Chains A and B, each alone.
Chain A
Amino acid sequence: MKKDSLLYKILWSNYPRTAFIISGFGLLLGAAIVFFGAGLFLVFRQIQMSDDQLFPKEFIVINKKVSLLNTLSISNSGFSEEEIEEIKNQPFVVNLSPFVSNQFKIGAYTEATENVPGFYTELFFQAIPNQYLNIKDSRWKWEKGQKEIPIVFPSDYLKLYNFGFATSQGLPQVSAKTIGRVSFKVKITGKNGVHHFTARIVDVTDKVNTILVPLDFMLWANDSFGVEEKKSSPSMILIETENAANPEIISFIQTKGYETNTERLKNSKTAFFLKIVFIIVSSIGGIIVLLALLMFVFSLEILILRSKESIKKVLLLGFHYNHLLKIYLLFITIMLLVILSLSWFFAQTGLNVLEQFVSENGFSFPSDLGIQLLLLPVLTLVILLIINMITIRLQLRRINSESNG
């Protein structure tokens, strides 16, 4: 450093101060906006990822609207094969699977103990192929002869139990984490008489309001116990799509008189909206960064042009232009490091303030973005340095060839 201090004095003696300050502020502001936007995007992605993962990211479940005609048994709420085929042919459908329903009577019961009264309720099961599910629990499988049926329970039912049944009956409440320990007896009545199984809840979901069992069990049970009068066409269909917020889906569903999980669509719309916001914010930040970068590069060019005669002299004394390049780059690196660190700090502070605001309003917000959010400034620094290196090197080479005839 000491060795080059005189060179610094020569090369930076008449730098365009105002232009550097303005472009520096521009970079600071633009980069802070981009980092903040990226932070929001990461937060959103983490929220999405922490969401329950039982189903593929972009899916919807549709069913027919229940009307007076259904009640009067004039119209069927199940989907016919033609209707399924029609849905399958829609451009937004990547894949679909009807839910397979039980074709036999199911009753759930517990035997009364000293503390807990016995109960009995009729139930229903539905199943879809495993490829549409992402259940990590190893108990989510069923083989012929197995007496325990794993089931996935809708979280709304859990809430109903916890805040309705359990409180009124003085029973212990069950959380989503402890539900894996809950089991109850299942009585199946079908063509071969009455059969008893145990059902164990292995997971809960807020994505679909049905009780899911493995398809293997459902097919075997329908085959073994199914009765003709219980046979019905599927009442719910799971659709895998590229983008659940696609307006075509909504209009198709409305035209056909179907229904879907509106919450899910709303989430998708929110996601879509947030993506747009992220793109707009990041684009504005990006444009500011780009303009500031242009100004920065121009300032550098002015600096080098102003020092042109000095550079020629220095080269004639025997300095290599790579040596001068290093000196310019060292200064620029320090400058950019300070600017980008400040941008990062402002973006992180902004996110922290947002986190505080959001948590005061009763939402959780992942805040451990530090390392992930650091990658962007590092990447920006590398790109900016490469651009500057190319610019300065070109200029120096030009001056070098001028000073050497």
Chain B
Amino acid sequence: MIINFDSVVPHPIRDIYSSESDIWNNNIVFEQGKFYQISAASGVGKTTFLNLIYGSRKDYDGSVFINQKNLNNLSFTDWSKLRTRSVSMVFQGLFLFDNLTVFQNIMLKNRLTNHKTEDQIMDMINQLGIGELKDKIVAKISFGQKQRVAIVRALCQPYQVILLDEPFSHLDTSSAQIALQLIIESSMENHATILLTSLSETLVSDNFSLIKL
């Protein structure tokens, strides 16, 4: 999946974006199977950038293309298909359901996509160290634990691009490394693109290219 940003400027940051940005008001292509780390301070549009690709924001000038299709021309049905078959995302706000358990939150997505077996899901949960929390209501676990639930959920679908909005912000280094490894392995299997946002310019891994916002 090739993603192309053509002179895109989101309305909320119209007056504040940096002219040195690699993305805003520029032409940039994100290629299939490559990993990108988009780094910037708060408030310059990291989340907005991912939301444009995910279709949850449409307030921008310029054009965004996925495989040469202008995203503004997609119907909700198209988006629904994209979000279950091609584009996955770990939201900064996580968007988990507090009244469901850890496992139910993940199964909600997996039942829609039928992508993983329960054993495969348990395997990922255990790798991320939240196996014991499987039956715990999400409202009762920490934000760091929730981040790991959201990562597993995002991997429960086929995808060609995965959007990660500061996914390790509340994880310790070791947990973040395990989570990153899981994502990289899964993305390599899918031959998918990774777009990861972070506050830091230090690359999370050598496989990633740094993009400045």
- Distance in angstroms between the alpha carbons of A300 and B187 in the assembled complex: 42
What are the interface flags for B73-89 relative to A under an 8 Å C-beta threshold, 1 for contact and 0 otherwise?
A: 00011011111100001
- Distance in angstroms between the alpha carbons of A55 and B157 in the assembled complex: 76
Which residues of chain A have C-beta atoms less than 8 A from B84's C-beta? 318
CB pair A405–B57 under 8 Å, yes or no, is yes
What are the interface flags for A1-30 relative to B under an 8 Å C-beta threshold, 1 for contact and 0 otherwise?
A: 001001101100100000000000000000
CB pair A321–B97 under 8 Å, yes or no, is no
CB pair A13–B99 under 8 Å, yes or no, is yes
- Distance in angstroms between the alpha carbons of A404 and B74 in the assembled complex: 11
CB pair A317–B76 under 8 Å, yes or no, is no
Which residues of chain B have C-beta atoms less than 8 A from A310's C-beta? 97
CB pair A6–B95 under 8 Å, yes or no, is no
* Chain A proximity of B92: nearest CB distance (Å): 12
- Given the interface pairs A318-B112, A320-B77, A400-B76, the reply to whether A6 lies near B56 with Cβ below 8 Å is no
Residues facing A in B19-62 (CB within 8 A) are 51, 54-59
CB pair B80–A319 under 8 Å, yes or no, is yes
Asked if A403 is at the interface (CB within 8 A of a chain B CB), the reply is yes
- Distance in angstroms between the alpha carbons of A317 and B82 in the assembled complex: 10
Residues facing B in A298-318 (CB within 8 A) are 310, 313, 316-318
Asked if B108 is at the interface (CB within 8 A of a chain A CB), the reply is yes
Residues facing B in A344-372 (CB within 8 A) are none
* Chain B proximity of A313: nearest CB distance (Å): 4
- Given the interface pairs A403-B56, A404-B55, the reply to whether A6 lies near B80 with Cβ below 8 Å is no
Which residues of chain A have C-beta atoms less than 8 A from B97's C-beta? 10, 310, 313
* Chain A proximity of B147: nearest CB distance (Å): 16
Q: Tell me the dominant secondary structure on chain B's binding face.
A: helix
With beta carbons under 8 angstroms apart, the residue of B59, B109, B157 that contacts A405 is: B59
Contacts A313-B97, A404-B55, A404-B79 known; 9 new A-B pairs at CB < 8 A: A7-B108, A9-B100, A9-B104, A10-B97, A317-B109, A318-B83, A320-B80, A400-B76, A405-B56
* Chain A proximity of B58: nearest CB distance (Å): 4
With beta carbons under 8 angstroms apart, the residue of A13, A313, A404 that contacts B95 is: A313
User: What are some 17 contacts across the A-B interface (CB < 8 A)?
Assistant: A3-B111, A6-B104, A9-B104, A10-B100, A13-B99, A316-B54, A316-B83, A316-B89, A317-B109, A318-B81, A318-B109, A318-B113, A319-B80, A321-B76, A404-B55, A405-B51, A405-B56
- Distance in angstroms between the alpha carbons of A320 and B79 in the assembled complex: 9
- Distance in angstroms between the alpha carbons of A405 and B99 in the assembled complex: 26
What are the interface flags for B94-122 relative to A under an 8 Å C-beta threshold, 1 for contact and 0 otherwise?
A: 01010110001001110111000000000
CB pair A317–B108 under 8 Å, yes or no, is yes
Which residues of chain B have C-beta atoms less than 8 A from A313's C-beta? 95, 97
* Chain A proximity of B74: nearest CB distance (Å): 10
* Chain B proximity of A71: nearest CB distance (Å): 91
Which residues of chain A have C-beta atoms less than 8 A from B83's C-beta? 316-318
- Distance in angstroms between the alpha carbons of A37 and B83 in the assembled complex: 53
- Distance in angstroms between the alpha carbons of A310 and B96 in the assembled complex: 9
Asked if B91 is at the interface (CB within 8 A of a chain A CB), the reply is yes
Which residues of chain A have C-beta atoms less than 8 A from B80's C-beta? 318-320
With beta carbons under 8 angstroms apart, the residue of B56, B81, B108, B157 that contacts A404 is: B56
Interface centre among A7, A318, A320, A321 (most CB of B within 10 A): A318
Q: Which residue of chain A has the shortest Cβ distance to B91 in the bound complex?
A: A316
Q: Which residue of chain B has the shortest Cβ distance to A312 in the bound complex?
A: B95
Which residues of chain A have C-beta atoms less than 8 A from B57's C-beta? 405
- Distance in angstroms between the alpha carbons of A329 and B91 in the assembled complex: 30
- Distance in angstroms between the alpha carbons of A87 and B56 in the assembled complex: 79
Interface centre among B51, B55, B107, B112 (most CB of A within 10 A): B112
* Chain B proximity of A219: nearest CB distance (Å): 77
Which residues of chain B have C-beta atoms less than 8 A from A7's C-beta? 108
- Given the interface pairs A6-B107, A404-B56, A405-B59, the reply to whether A320 lies near B95 with Cβ below 8 Å is no
- Distance in angstroms between the alpha carbons of A150 and B34 in the assembled complex: 102
* Chain A proximity of B138: nearest CB distance (Å): 12
Q: Which residue of chain A has the shortest Cβ distance to B80 in the bound complex?
A: A320
Interface centre among A7, A316, A319 (most CB of B within 10 A): A316
Q: Which residue of chain A has the shortest Cβ distance to B154 in the bound complex?
A: A317
CB pair A404–B100 under 8 Å, yes or no, is no
* Chain A proximity of B12: nearest CB distance (Å): 11
Q: Which residue of chain B has the shortest Cβ distance to A321 in the bound complex?
A: B76
Which residues of chain A have C-beta atoms less than 8 A from B104's C-beta? 6, 9
Q: Which residue of chain B has the shortest Cβ distance to A7 in the bound complex?
A: B108
Which residues of chain A have C-beta atoms less than 8 A from B82's C-beta? 318
Which residues of chain A have C-beta atoms less than 8 A from B81's C-beta? 318
Which residues of chain B have C-beta atoms less than 8 A from A405's C-beta? 51, 55-59
* Chain A proximity of B126: nearest CB distance (Å): 22
Which residues of chain B have C-beta atoms less than 8 A from A400's C-beta? 76
Residues facing B in A63-121 (CB within 8 A) are none
- Given the interface pairs A6-B107, A9-B99, the reply to whether A318 lies near B59 with Cβ below 8 Å is no
With beta carbons under 8 angstroms apart, the residue of B59, B99, B112 that contacts A317 is: B112
Q: Which residue of chain A has the shortest Cβ distance to B94 in the bound complex?
A: A313
CB pair B56–A316 under 8 Å, yes or no, is yes
- Distance in angstroms between the alpha carbons of A55 and B166 in the assembled complex: 88
* Chain A proximity of B213: nearest CB distance (Å): 19
What are the interface flags for B146-182 relative to A under an 8 Å C-beta threshold, 1 for contact and 0 otherwise?
A: 0000000000010000000000000000000000000
